[in-house]
Structure 1
Amino acid sequence: MEPFKAFSKYTMEGLDLVIEYYPIEQLSPELFQWAFELTKRNMQELYEQTWGWKDSAKRSEMKDPEALYFVALERETRKPVGFAHFRYLLEEDKKAEVLYLFEIQVEPEYQSKGVGKFLMMILELVGSKNEMKFILMTVFQINKRALNFYMKKLNYVIDETSPTVLEEHHYVLSKPLRSW
């Protein structure tokens, strides 16, 4: 976060948060467990309507050796309130290096207060700084709130590599990034 020191805190909407960066090997077991439980609370129902939910599969994905995290915490109490899990990948179909967002989750009482949008802004800046060509993510077609957030508020589009509506339960969304 050093090049992005100005983005290491969030003090809007009555919140006083710090944003911390962790490669998976530096994420404490307590923070990991919180992130997993938050993901399960927020996403299990959607998964069960589409691909099915398996704790072991989600844990494995979230613990991948390449996994990187930004975590938003209350400054005074250190209570975690949101996180983004991402990786840098070579996207075969695009023949480009991308920042792939695997999860962005915010505690329900902190949603609609700009935390997710702020984390996305950080990801876009970090992706650009690291010369990634795109941010990509998978979003369930039934997750209308997320689709509205990404497409209407943040200008993401359905990527050309996205499966067709009839083939799958999800879209691949993307946004091109500019290098610095």
Structure 2
Amino acid sequence: MNYDPWKVESVIRDTFPDKIIGYDVQVSIEPKNVHEFVELVSINLGHFYSRNHGSNWKLDKVKEMEESGLVFVSIWDHDQLVGFISFVDTIDDDIRVLYLYEIQINPNHQGKSLGKLFINYFHDLAKYLSKINNKIYSNYNNNNPHDYLDRTETLKGTKLTVFSDNSVLDWYIKLGYDKSEDSPQDRKLRSGKVIKPEYYLLFRSADNE
């Protein structure tokens, strides 16, 4: 992917601050070493991934985190990772969205509303981009899968994937997310038993207050 790292950070910094309750905020795109991020995912969600994707899920997660264009906003207490959020500006199901990949807080720092602050800044960024019709990336070549972002699509909202049995689902619903049209749905058997899919796809409009 061709892009200007300075431009990426400057767009993110329009809504994300330099510090969050005293912790330093770093913005990076395609970081060279993602293993520290993967380890935090493992601490918080490793049991979900192991059950649904097997023991080698970390290798797949590393590849995912190394995808072109993925933006990481992380907070640090000196050299200790406190938490991070990662996302990409993309087209999904024919609409432009900020797709949330991860929002993770170290258990030692939970209970400080860091997750709420992270998601609020993320929603602010989506609203900001939708109003100015700006894009995070620029300078694409013709072989790049994200070339569409050099056109005029308006960002419509935010989207994410969540395990159906993860209690954080209720948190997202309270934040204004709904199942997207392309989300897997529950199946109700003749016996009345409801079978849930492995995951749901959730969408939130950028105009949602």
Q: State the TM-score, normalized to the length of structure 1.
A: 0.82
Report if the CA contact (8 A) 2:35-2:62 is conserved: no
- Mapped to 1, the partners of 2:96 and 2:157 lie a distance apart of 7
Match of 1:147 among 162, 169, 172: 169
How far the C-alpha of 1:28 sits from its partner, in A, is: 4.9
Partner of 1:71: 74
Match of 2:28 among 5, 22, 40: 22
Equivalent positions of 1:2-151 (< 5 A) are 2-4=13-15, 7-11=17-21, 16-24=22-30, 27-29=31-33, 32-53=34-55, 54-74=57-77, 77-92=78-93, 95-131=94-130, 132-144=155-167, 146-151=168-173
- Mapped to 2, the partners of 1:10 and 1:37 lie a distance apart of 22
- Mapped to 2, the partners of 1:102 and 1:2 lie a distance apart of 19
How far the C-alpha of 1:158 sits from its partner, in A, is: 1.9
How far the C-alpha of 1:149 sits from its partner, in A, is: 1.9
Structure 2 unaligned blocks of 5 or more? 1-11, 131-154, 188-195
For the pair shown, which has the larger CA radius of gyration, 1 or 2? 2
Letter of the aligned partner of 2:105 in structure 1?
V
How far the C-alpha of 1:90 sits from its partner, in A, is: 0.5
Q: Residues 130, 48 of structure 1: CA spacing in aligned structure 2 closer, same or farther, 3 A cutoff? A: same
1:51-76 alpha-carbon deviations (Å, 9 max, x no partner): 335221110001101211110112xx
1:83-127 alpha-carbon deviations (Å, 9 max, x no partner): 0111111012xx210000011111011122111111111111112
- Mapped to 2, the partners of 1:19 and 1:150 lie a distance apart of 23
> Could you tell me the percent identity over the aligned residues?
24
Letter of the aligned partner of 1:90 in structure 2?
I
Partner of 2:198: 169
Query: Aligned-residue CA RMSD in angstroms?
Result: 1.9
Structure 1 unaligned blocks of 5 or more? none
- Mapped to 2, the partners of 1:142 and 1:40 lie a distance apart of 17
The size of the alignment, in residue pairs, is 164
How far the C-alpha of 1:81 sits from its partner, in A, is: 0.4
